[in-house]
Structures are given as C-alpha cells and as structure tokens.
Chain A
Amino acid sequence: MAESIEPIIISVNGTERRLAVERSRSLLSVLRIELGLTGTKYGCGAGQCGACTALLEGRPVRACVTPVSHADGRAVLTIEGLAEEETLHPVQEAFLEAQAFQCGYCTPGMTMEAVALIWQKPRPSELEIREAMSGHLCRCGTYARIIKAIHLAADKMQR
C-alpha cells in the first residue's frame, strides 16, 4: 500500500500543477477531488460511458481508467479550460445552438470528444461522428442532436 509519493507535474488547462498524490490514482479522481475540476464526470469508472473524457496532449482519454501518472509532465485539457474567459469554444456554441443535452451530465465528456474529433478530422461524416462518439452514452437520448452539433461545430471551425 505504501506508494512513493513524488510530486506529479501536470499542466491542467494551461496552469502547471504539482500534485503529491498516489501515482496509481485515477486522473478523474485527481481532477475532481484534488483540483476541484468537477466538470469532468463519473459515470461508470470502467471506460464504458465517456462521461469522464478529458484531453491528454490533445487526445481524448477516459480519465476514470487513466492513472494520474500517465499525465505526468503532460498537458491535460478539461471542459473548464475550453472557453476563453466568456468566449465559448465553437463546439460549446454548437452544442448550445443544437440544444444537444437534456440533463447535461454527459455533455462535458461529449464536448471534449467532439473537440478532439474535429481537431483530427475537420469535416467528419455522420458515420465518422457515430464511430468517434460511440464510446459515449447519453441516457437522455440526445444522440441525434449531438451529431447535429458536431456538424455545426465543424462548420464554425472551418470559418
């Protein structure tokens, strides 16, 4: 049980954080409990719902199954770091425009995955969207709206 606690250094939303935490702890727990970044959600703890999605060096990861040590020396972007002050990211704007949520609980994870998708594929097809998003669950059933939001966001980002 006695794990060495050497500090882990992560750039979180552009700010360097030194964290004295167990290396095996999940990135999700560290974000939520140690850093108070509660926009990243717990939905299953097993990589099966996508609610905990954050970007590690620009790639989507399931923070619930990512040991915090994987983020050591790297950059993490969470939903809280997406908007610049009051200006929303185009993906956030698109989700608002399409009203692509009901309870909103899956929204941060969906949003982060969508951001990564558009970075990788600026003009994803509908099938590519379904594929890229397929690891995300929305029990409220807003999938069609999320697909629409991602198309809208891609349009916005082209401009």
Chain B
Amino acid sequence: MRAGRRCREAGADGPELTRREFLRAAGGLVVAVSLWPETSAVSAAAAGEDRAGWLRVGEDGRVTVFGPIPEVGQGLRTELAQLAAEELRVPLSSVDVILGDTERVPPDGGICAGSAISAIGPEVRRAAAEAREALAAAAAAQWRVRPEQVQLSEGRAVLISDEGTSLPIGDLARAAARMRRRGRAAVLTPPAEFRVAGRPVPSVDGRSYVTGAAKYTADIRPQGLAFAKVLRPPDLGGRLLSAQARAAASQPGVIAVVEEEDLIGVVASRPEAAERAALGIQASWQEGPPVSGFSLYQDLRASAELESELGSRGDVEAALAAARHGYSASYRTPFLAHAPIEPHAALAMPEDGRMVVHASTQRPFQHRAAVARALGLPEGRVRVVCPAVGGAFGGKDSPEVSAQAARLAQALGRPVLLAQSREEELTRNYFGPAAVIDVRCGVAPDDRIAAWDCDVFNCGSRGALAPYAFENHRVRVHACKSPLPQGPWRGMGAPASAFAREVHLDHVASQLGADPIALRLRHLDDAPRLARVVRSAAERYGWRDRRPPTGLGSGFACAVDAGSSAAVIADVEVERTSGYLRVRRVLVAQDSGLVVNPDNMRNVIEGAVVMGLGFTLREAVRYQQGRILTRSFASYAIPTFYDAPAVDIVLQSDPDRPPQGGGTAALCAIAPAVANAVFDAIGTRLRELPLSPARVRSAP
C-alpha cells in the first residue's frame, strides 16, 4: 500500500505493562499508566509530560479520561467513560472524556480508530484502578486505618466498618497524588462484578447528536472566521504550470488570494464567494497519467513485486502436486471510496506564533506533524484538536486539508476553514485498494485441505493469512503499482482477502459435496474462538435443517480481524432474470473479547453489515482517462434505507480478554456470505465484487 501508514495491530491480549506512574499536576491526581512498549514513540513522548496522563481526578471530584483517538462513531467515548466509572466507582455522569487533542492526550502509537478500544481501554481501566487504590490509600492514611478498610463508592471514599465516615474523592485527589507507589499493579475489578461496564448504557454524546448541538469541524465559529477554497489539480495529480489568480482577488466577498508554489487558495467572507472565485481561476496543469479502469486487474498483476511471504507452513508445491483434487480460481475487488457523510474539513487558527487546527481526522498526531512541517514550526507550537467527527472509515488519515488550511491561516493571520465539497471528498482522497487474489487449493484423499496457496495483489497483508489449520499453507503478498492513490479503508485488505478465501472454500465444499460449515470446522483446530462463533451461528440459524425455497439462498462465511471473530449467514433472494439481489436477513455471531457496551457493539456490527453490503452489491470507484467518474452519491451509490436487512446478532462475550474492535470482522464476512448465498440459490459462482445485477445475469 502506497499511501497512508499502517495501523499498529493492537495485540489481542493487550500490550505489556512497562511503566506506571502518577504525575503530579496542579489541582488533582493524574495517572499515567503507560502500557505502550518502552521502545515506541509513545512512551518516550509521554515520559515526564504531565499532560500525557490517561486519567485525572480533579479536586472537584470530576474524573477526566484522555485518549489519543477521536470519537468517529465507534462509541469510544462512552466505552472509556464506562471503564473509568467502573474502576473508580463513580457515576458515569462524573466522567469527562477528552479525545484526540494533541495538547492534552497521550500520543496514539499508530493504533486504528476502529480498534482503539482494545489499546486504550485496558490503559484507562488500569489507570482508573491505580487511581482508586491511591485514593483509598490517601483516605486510609487520613483515618489511620489500613487501605483495605476503605472502599470507594459513588464518588466517595468510605470506611467499610463505619459508613458514616466518608470523604468525596475530590478532597483526596491532592493527597493521593503524593501517595507512595506500591510494588504491585492495582487490582482490576472482575468483569463478573461490573455495574457500569458491560452494560448497554446510552451514548454520552447522544443528546448532542439529536439536538444538533454536537460541533463538527465546520460548525466551529471563531471570531473573524474566513472560508477558503483551494485550486485543485486534475483528479489524478499533475503539476501546476501557470495560473491567472490575480483577478479572483477582486471578486465580491474575496478577502485574499494566496499564491504559493504548490498552493493557490482563495479566502473569502462566505464559502460561496471563495468557491465562485476559485472556479474562475484559469490554470494550466501538466496532466497526470491518463489512466483508465478497463485493464485494472491485469495492470496490477503486471506491476506486481513480491513484498512478503506470510506464515509459510509445509511444502505447498509438493502438497498441491500430491493432492487428489486441485481447485484454483482468482478473485477481484475494486477500489472503494470511504464516503463519510461529513467530508474532510480543517479549521486553522493562528495564535501568537502557534497554530491550532481543528480537524476532521482519525489521526491528530499525524496531522500535527504535517502542519508543523508545512508551516516550518516545531511540533510543540502546533495543536490539533478533533471535534466531533462525522465518520472516517479509514479515510481521514491524510493531513493535506489540515496543512493547507494552516498555510492559508498563517498567510492571512486569521482563522480559516477549509471544508471539502462532496465532489472533492470523492475525488481528492485516497481510496481503499483494489485487489486481485489467486487461490490454489489441494484436497487430500480424506477430504482435508492439504494445501492452500494464496497470492494477494495490491491490498496488503492484513487478513491475508487464513485462520484455518491447513497443513501446507503459503500466502504471498505482492505490492503493485496502483493507478489511484490508495490507503487504509475499514479493515484494510482484510475484506478482500476474506472474500477470496471464503468464496473459494465454499467452492471447494460444493465440489466435494461437503457442508461448507462442516468443512471449515474441520480446519479450525487453531482458532477455537472462531470455531465457537461458527458453531453458534450454525445453531442459531438452524443450518443443518435448512431448506431455502427456490430463488432464495443462504450463504456462510467467517473471518477474524482486529482481535474479533465473526461468523455470518446471509439469506439472499435472487431475481434470476434481472440479476437483482435482495439481502433479506443477516445473522452475525461474534466474539470481541470483553464487551464494554453490548448495545454499542450491536450498533457497530449492524453498521458493519450495512457498509459491507455496500461494497458487496454496488460500490466501486470508476475512472477513465485520468478522471474519476464516481463524483457524487448518484454515481457512487452507498447503501440506503432500502438496503438495510434484518440483522440478528449473537454476541459471545469473553470477559477475560481485553475488549476488541468490533467493526471489521463481520464486515469481512458479508460479501463472501452473500456471494455464497447466490451460489446456493442459483448455482452461479461469482468471484468479482461488486455482485452487480449485470454480473449476476451474465455469470455462467
């Protein structure tokens, strides 16, 4: 993958405990329990900075949690508040959660927004437990009793033997910050005793959403705010040769036209004025390459270079040669747009020698670095704050808009908002990578899969290795020359790899006359969690006794991603003549470790199903002669109200495992489950996404 950096995969069992300390700060107890690996940038940056704590107990008794990743709709704010409230025994309403403000939160360590809970959740939980013990110890010291004789309850420290003796935790915060550390880590509350965590509490942001009070980047209105539009090169790049920008400056409403070598921006008192003036600027560009999508998959293959070989086991070639049956096929998935309803936006505000940028991003620290570079400022003089973010899906990493807004704001010495239009959002951003995946599979005489050989082109290694215990197993990941800028898309390459693998397994099962679920279960010895959700999906659905009526098919697929395991069964109605598919019902059984908020987890899974149906049925970025053709919601059709199927979810909670991001495992399994259901219904095997009516009609 060319654009975008990789997400650090938060380990399924959480990072190692390496450093723990209380930090003294004015007016309260700050706990910085840094669990990031000692060698990472995170602990280095966190060391000695008291603002890099995870949790603070103020003298007013309010608890503040600090997290590096913003709320993008994944429910992170509420879940962190639940964990802190649980361990500190305070009501949820006394917890504030500050997310994605580089001045106040610990650095992000490269984690993804979707699985942020798996990395940040345990940190916050442990920090809160440390704070609880320190507060109890401070109370004990004051009452001259042992710490074990004190417990925290409802925001107070209470003497167990005499409930009349108590103090609000705010009164103890200062003393707690001076407590000497014990030699051991604080004791975490066992999930079986949870009262706030593990419950379906409503989102702490909910009221602000339904009243319109939530502030997204473009909703912030500082004094003297001006609105900008920048001149955009042709879709797929190109160098500016010349521009006649001067005349734009005299257009009504225009405040200034900024001309720097690679940036021409119009700043105006109203957004329309900026847009109108920018449109009027004559510019000539040295065009980028006139790429077209016709030969995309051949081109990817032709430009491939072996990047890595994953988890090789056994001798694949020998096993393939010796196999009784061999099945090979190739699978394809197109470029995808993220298409959050809130387009990218950045609001830059110069403040004596510093720059404060509010940005719609998942990666405030990456934006801070880019803004600092663009302005020639040290990072310490740049602050990036994430207000409410209207969806990201992996698409809001790139800091270009923030850097441009900051340059314009610096040039004018006033606050500037740069907000992308829908067209810009769909044409200027990087895309989720297209992929070609070849699978060769050899089956032994006992009907076990003896060899699995997979070549993944262009979409990277995430999710490429099958969770199955194939005796001979090889996955080669090839880097390709992508015609479009590409970067992370929800789940990175995992949905594409899962599509290829799970459709191919269904194909092998049907060739062998085996039940597709039974075939998978025979190879899941190394993945007990996945095996468990596969069984529970089959059971809940009544898989063994199913008898789908004509025209209706049911398909199965499963996947592991970001520490979660999911099994999906889709019921699909196929109109043979039109090729039209209707996904009637989707069953998801999922294990995401400790479930901090079951209702939020369900919400996230339902959302993953809907988003998954988008790329299953329709979504694909189209381009021709260097121009993106899918420039609006009319041509890039994301799912609508008509697409939302009935979703049945079986949540398998595993409280002994840290919480895992729940938004991608089911997403990976949707497309193959639907494709397999189409095969079940009409015997047509589809190997290319999206499963458009034309493909359904014309497939052999």
Contacts and interface: CB of A to CB of B under 8 A. Distances in A.
Interface of A: 1, 25-26, 29, 32-33, 36-46, 48-49, 51, 78-80, 82-83, 88, 92, 95-96, 99, 101-108, 111, 129-130, 133-134, 136-147
A111 B341 contact: no
Interface in B199-221: 202-203, 205-216, 218-219, 221
B342 interface: yes
A55 B137 CA distance: 57
Interface in B161-208: 202-203, 205-208
Nearest to A91: B210
A46 B422 contact: yes
Given A141-B644, A142-B606, A43 B422 contact: yes
A44 B606 contact: no
A48 B634 contact: yes
B294 interface: no
Contacts of A33: 227, 270-271
A103 B389 contact: yes
B401 interface: no
Contacts of B219: 32, 38
B693 interface: no
Contacts of A144: 606, 644, 646-647
A130 B208 contact: no
A157 to B, nearest CB: 16
A78 B212 contact: yes
Interface in B342-371: 342-343
Given A41-B341, A46-B632, A102-B603, A83 B211 contact: yes
A103 B210 contact: no
Interface string B99-131: 000000000000000000000000000000000
Contacts of B430: none
B379 interface: no
Contacts, number: 174
A48 B393 contact: no
Given A29-B272, A38-B212, A103-B73, A49 B341 contact: yes
B270 A29 contact: yes
B203 A130 contact: no
B218 A101 contact: no
B341 A142 contact: no
B421 A104 contact: no
B496 interface: no
B639 interface: yes
Nearest to A82: B211
A104 B603 contact: no
Contact of B633 (A107, A111, A137): A137
B253 to A, nearest CB: 10
A54 B611 CA distance: 26
16 contacts: A39-B212, A42-B419, A48-B632, A79-B212, A88-B207, A92-B211, A95-B206, A99-B600, A102-B75, A103-B73, A130-B642, A137-B640, A138-B341, A141-B610, A141-B639, A143-B610
A38 B271 contact: no
Contacts of A80: 211-213
B391 A42 contact: no
Contacts of B642: 130, 134
A137 B271 CA distance: 24
Contacts of A96: 202, 206-207, 210
A67 B203 CA distance: 36
A141 B342 contact: no
B608 interface: yes
Interface string B328-343: 0000000000011111
A60 to B, nearest CB: 14
Given A134-B642, A140-B73, A49 B342 contact: no
B590 interface: no
Given A36-B221, A104-B388, A108-B212, A43 B342 contact: yes
A101 B203 contact: yes
A108 B607 CA distance: 18
Contact of A140 (B215, B271, B422, B607): B607
A147 B645 CA distance: 12
B209 A134 contact: no
A1 B253 CA distance: 11
B609 A111 contact: no
Contact of A95 (B71, B210, B214): B210
Nearest to A33: B270
B402 to A, nearest CB: 18
A139 B422 contact: no
Contacts of B600: 99
Nearest to B270: A33
A38 B218 contact: yes
Contacts of B634: 46, 48
Contacts of A111: 210
Given A80-B211, A141-B610, A136 B342 contact: no
A138 B203 CA distance: 18
A10 B221 CA distance: 22
Contact of B206 (A39, A99, A143, A147): A99
B389 to A, nearest CB: 6
B633 A49 contact: yes
B212 A44 contact: no
Nearest to B599: A99
